Structures are given as C-alpha cells and as structure tokens.
C-alpha cells in the first residue's frame, strides 16, 4: 500500500471525574492506546496526525478540512454522552468526503441501541437470546411472560457499563427493582433477556467485502467463586483489583470442534453484516441449552488496543498489530458498497485544488460522478 496521511481521531472529552488508577477504561489508558495505534501506523510508513476532539466540533471540522488526510482512522468512542454521539462524528467525517476506518454512522448507531440491533438480528433470522424485551417503565415488566433467570442491562451502553453481580434476576420483583435502577441511573430503557449460562465466545472479524473470522476467543469463568455470576461485567472488563477481573480470563484460540467453530463464525458474520458493519468488528456470542450460538452483542469499531480482544485474536491468526491496522485502513479505502462520497467539502476549496487533491483516497471519479448526480437531482 502507498504511504498515506492518516488522521487518527479520538474522543478527548471527559466528564471531569478523576480516573481511578485500577480502572483500565480511563483517559490515561485511552491516550496510551492512541499512542500505540499511532506508532503502529507510522511503522507501516504512514504519516499520522492525531486529532483529539473534545467539545468543539466546528474547530475539529476546520482542522480536518485543513489537513485533508487520505483517510480518517476513527477511534472516537463516547461513553460520556452516550449512544448517539459516535454516529454523529462518523457521519460528519463521511459528509466531508474522507474515507473512514470501521463502520459507518448507521451501523455505529444501530449497534449501540441494543434492542434495535437485537430486533434487526431476530428479523434476519439470526438467533438472539429468548425473552428479549425493552422496558421503558417498571410497569412494562407485567406485559411480558418471563422465564428466569433474566439478565438486565442499560439498553444504550457498552463496555460492560451498568453490568454487575446483581444484573441477573430470578423473580419479577427483582426484575422490577433492577429496571427501576437502570431507568433512574442511566436515564434510558432497560434491556432484558433470558440469561444464557452456556459457553461465551468473542468473534473477531476483519476485512471489507472479504470478511475474515479470526481465531475464536472463549471467556473462561471457571475460576469465579460461585456467588459471582459468569458475565463480562464492568468490573470483569476493567477493574484490575476486582475478583471479577482477576478470576475471569480469555482463552484464545478457543478449543472448539470445527463444526461448531464454523457455525459461530458464520453467525457472527451474518450479525455484523445485518447491522451494516464494515472493516473490523467483534461479535459476542453465547451458546444456549441446545448448543446453538446466539448473538449477545455486535460491536462495531470494537476496542483496538494491542494484545487484547480483536488484536489478540488477529495475532493468533498470524496478523501482527500493525498489519491488523493496515487491513482496517485497506477496508476503509475499499469503501462499503453504495457508500458514495458526497463532496460537501468541494465548494469550500478552489476547483484546481480539488482536482489536484480530491478529498478521499485519491480517486476523483467518485466526486465527479456524485457532483453530476447532485446537480442532476437539483434540476429534476
Ligand atoms: N442474554 C445473555 N445471556 C448470558 N449472558 C449475557 C447475556 N447478555 C449479556 N450477557 C453477559 O454480559 C456481557 C456484556 O453484555 P453485552 O450485551 O455484550 O454488553 P456490552 O456492550 O457491555 O459488552 C456479555 O459479555 C455476557 O457475559
Ligand atoms: Mg459485549
């Protein structure tokens, strides 16, 4: 691949509360991850400009416009404002005409609304946990028939936020209490589903039109004390000092018989495609009592830190971290089918400049075609 100018974008906004050093989801860890990604991209010969977006989207837009990168490497993750913000940034970048790594705005938004993506998957015939329901009030609990145990979580969070030892409930009373809790604490509906106690897998996916399944990772809960439920709670994911973190491990590659491994991989690909994911993803799957893989969570733009999650699976497939990033950049330049460059940037630069440096991957055809389409649309 030729050497590219890459804008590495991340979210530098924090809610002002200080980080706990034992919590690995904090700002310091984020900055280190961005540095590692930048270093790996530079080791491939690319030029990298890190762009931190905190609150001034217009200043960010101006900087990006001046920079005119070949591709935007999107590491904008927003756990402070919530589900909608990630898709806004992704939409902005694409509206400016720059290729962008990972999933488009629509997929980012959809996959953050867990009930929407679950409904979509169910509609596409992809197995999800039974008893999946969105609860917008405590009273709504009575409108459903429940088969306990049920797991309850905030419907628009990710990264294990809101999931703890008490997230699995065994009675309507407990379910009501938990729903009340979530409504109050997160100001969003609760998602309830049958709790599947079977084996849990994280399925890493990499690529554009040719999507590759990485070696499966299995979450190992065998060492947890019995009073702690086997789930990837917030503590298990991030808090180094917790029992959950210390007694939960990941086995990668997982020991799975080939038929089941294939089925898990295919299920993950179908789920990722169904929500419109692109470039790289991680699908969380759990087996039901019959051994059928059911999709818990489609992660578009999952964590890309070195040595964990997707990057660890890729390493087991013989793809070192810089090469993984290269594949992700390649998928961005390949573009998702039907994703046209809408050249909103063009009127802001002179025509000669635009011809010399078309925004995007250096392929000016998309712009010419789209400009024609835009003006044709205007006269109709
Ligand atoms: N229906 C379910 N049955 C069993 N475990 C579940 C279910 N839903 C979630 N979990 C557990 O909770 C974890 C986090 O849930 P998930 O939906 O993946 O949210 P997040 O976006 O926070 O990762 C999963 O990795 C799994 O361990
Ligand atoms: Mg998950």
Rounded to the nearest angstrom, the distance between the alpha carbon of 30 and the centre of ligand 1 is 23
Answer whether residue 55 is part of any domain. Answer: no
**Of 39, 24, 91, nearest to 325 (Cα)?**
39
Residues 243 and 165 in one domain: no
118 CB-contact burial (10 Å; exposed 0-12 / middle 13-18 / buried 19+): buried
User: Does residue 206 sit in the same domain as residue 327?
Assistant: yes
Q: What is the 284 CA–ligand 2 centroid distance (Å)?
A: 6
Whole-number Å distance, alpha carbon 367 to ligand 1 midpoint, is 42
User: Do 148 and 179 belong to one domain?
Assistant: yes
- The Cβ of residue 380 has, within 10 Å, a number of other Cβ atoms equal to 5
Say which residues have a Cβ less than 8 Å from residue 316's Cβ, sequence separation at least 6.
214, 215, 252, 253
329 and 202 belong to one structural domain: yes
Does one domain contain both 328 and 216?
A: yes
CATH of the domain at 216: 3.30.470.20
Residues 228, 154 share a domain: no
Listed in sequence order, the residues at least 6 apart from 190 whose beta carbon sits closer than 8 Å to its beta carbon are: 134, 135, 152, 153, 154, 155, 178, 179, 182, 183
Query: What is the number of structural domains in the chain?
Result: 2
Whether the Cβ atoms of residue 356 and residue 348 lie closer than 8 Å to each other: no
264 and 139 within one domain: no
Domain containing 147: what range? Answer: 121-194
Q: In angstroms, rounded to a whole number, what is the distance separating the alpha carbons of residues 210 and 238? A: 32
pLDDT tens track for 133-175 = 999 999 999 999 999 999 999 998 888 888 989 999 999 999 9
* Residues 6+ positions from 325 with CB-CB distance below 8 Å: 37, 40, 41, 44, 73, 304
Poorest-confidence range of 41-55, 314-328, 349-363?
Answer: 349-363
For residues 306-326, average pLDDT: 96
Q: Nearest bound ligand to CA 234?
A: 1
318 belongs to a structural domain: yes
Given a cut of 90, whether residue 26 has pLDDT beyond it is no
Q: What is the pTM of this model?
A: 0.89
- Ligand 1 atom 26: residue of nearest CA: 231
CA of 112, nearest ligand number = 1
What's the pLDDT score for residue 83? 65
Residue 32 lies in a domain: no
Beta-carbon count within 10 A of 267 CB: 21
Contact 25 CB / ligand 1 (< 6 Å): no
Q: Would the CB of 159 count as within 6 Å of ligand 1?
A: yes
Residue of the CA atom closest to atom 24 of ligand 1 = 232
- Identify the DSSP state of 214: P
Point out the domain boundary residue: 139, 174, 194: 194
Query: Is 30 a domain residue?
Result: no
Whether residue 72 contacts residue 61, with contact meaning beta carbons closer than 8 Å, is answered with: no
Q: Is residue 18 part of a domain?
A: no
- Check if 175 has its Cβ closer than 6 Å to any atom of ligand 1: no
pLDDT in tens, 86-129: 898 999 999 999 999 999 999 999 998 999 999 999 999 999 99
Q: Is residue 280 part of a domain?
A: yes
- Is residue 158 in contact with ligand 1, taking CB distance under 6 Å? yes
Residue 184, token pair as written in the block: 């109050």
Q: Verify whether ligand 1 is closer than 6 Å to residue 296 (CB atom).
A: yes
Residue 232 Cβ < 6 Å to ligand 1: yes
How far, in Å, from the CA of 283 to the mean position of ligand 2? 8
Give yes or no for residue 15 having a pLDDT over 80: no
**Is 27 part of any domain?**
no
* Rounded Cα–Cα distance for residues 158 and 112 (Å): 7
Cα(346) to ligand 2 centroid in Å equals: 39
186 and 202 both lie in a single domain: no
Nearest CA among 183, 206, 307, 209 for reference residue 252:
307
Model pLDDT, residue 18? 67
CA–chain centroid gap for 176, Å, is 29
Q: Give me the pLDDT at residue 326, please.
A: 98
Q: Which of 15-24, 136-145, 201-210 bottoms out in mean pLDDT, i.e. has the lowest?
A: 15-24
Q: Whose CA is nearest to atom 21 of ligand 1?
A: 158
Least confident of 17-21, 211-215, 284-288: 17-21
Question: Are residue 319 and residue 203 in the same domain, yes or no?
Answer: yes
- Reduce the DSSP state of residue 7 to 3 states and report it: strand
112 in ligand 1 pocket by Cβ < 6 Å? no
DSSP for 247-313, written as a single string: H-EEESS----HHHHHHHHHHHHHHHHHTT--EEEEEEEEE-TTS-EEEEEEEES----TTSHHHHH
* Domain identity same for 190 and 257: no
Residues 217 and 303 in one domain: yes
Strand partners, 52: 10
Regarding the beta carbon of 196 and ligand 1, being less than 6 Å apart is answered yes
With cut-offs at 50, 70 and 90, classify the pLDDT of residue 350.
Answer: very low
Residues 204 and 302 in one domain: yes
Distance 181 CA to ligand 2 centre (A): 21
How far is the C-alpha of 65 from the C-alpha of 61, rounded, in Å?
6
Burial of 77 (0-12, 13-18, 19+ CB in 10 A): buried
d(CA 114, CA 354): 40
Decide which of 162, 194, 226 is a domain's last residue.
194
Highest mean pLDDT (candidates 61-70, 78-87, 235-244, 350-359): 61-70
């Amino acid at each position: 691949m030729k050497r590219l100018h890459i804008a590495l974008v991340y979210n530098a906004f924090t809610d002002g509360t200080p980080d706990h050093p034992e919590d690995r989801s904090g700002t310091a860890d984020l900055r280190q991850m961005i540095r590692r990604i930048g270093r790996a991209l530079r080791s491939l010969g690319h030029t990298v400009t890190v762009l931190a977006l905190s609150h001034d989207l217009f200043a960010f837009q101006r900087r990006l416009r001046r920079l005119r990168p070949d591709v935007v490497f999107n590491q904008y993750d927003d756990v402070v404002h919530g589900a909608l913000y990630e898709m806004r940034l992704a939409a902005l970048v694409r509206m400016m005409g720059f290729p962008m790594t990972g999933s488009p705005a629509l997929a980012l938004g959809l996959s953050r609304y867990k009930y929407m993506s679950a409904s979509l998957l169910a509609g596409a015939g992809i197995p999800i946990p039974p008893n999946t329901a969105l609860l917008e009030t405590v009273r709504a609990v009575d409108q459903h028939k429940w088969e306990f145990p049920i797991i309850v979580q905030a419907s628009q969070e990710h990264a294990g936020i809101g999931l703890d030892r008490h997230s699995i409930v065994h009675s309507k009373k407990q379910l009501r209490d938990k729903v009340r809790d979530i409504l109050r604490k997160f100001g969003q509906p609760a998602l309830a589903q049958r709790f599947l106690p079977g084996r849990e897998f994280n399925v890493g996916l990499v690529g554009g039109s040719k999507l590759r399944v990485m070696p499966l990772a299995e979450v190992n809960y065998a060492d947890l004390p019995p009073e702690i439920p086997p789930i990837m709670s917030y503590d298990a994911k991030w808090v180094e000092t917790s029992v959950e973190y210390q007694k939960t491990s990941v086995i990668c590659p997982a020991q799975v018989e080939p038929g089941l491994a294939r089925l898990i991989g295919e299920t993950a690909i179908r789920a990722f495609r169904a929500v419109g994911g692109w470039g790289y993803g991680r699908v969380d799957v759990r087996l039901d009592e019959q051994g059928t893989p059911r999709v818990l969570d489609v992660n578009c733009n999952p964590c890309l830190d070195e040595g964990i999650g997707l990057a660890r699976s890729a390493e087991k497939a013989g793809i070192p971290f810089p090469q993984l990033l290269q594949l992700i950049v390649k998928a961005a330049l390949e573009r998702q089918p039907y994703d046209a460059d809408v050249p909103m940037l063009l009127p802001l630069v002179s025509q000669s400049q635009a011809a010399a440096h078309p925004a995007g991957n250096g392929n000016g055809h998309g712009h010419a075609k789209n400009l024609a389409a835009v003006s044709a649309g205007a006269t109709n």
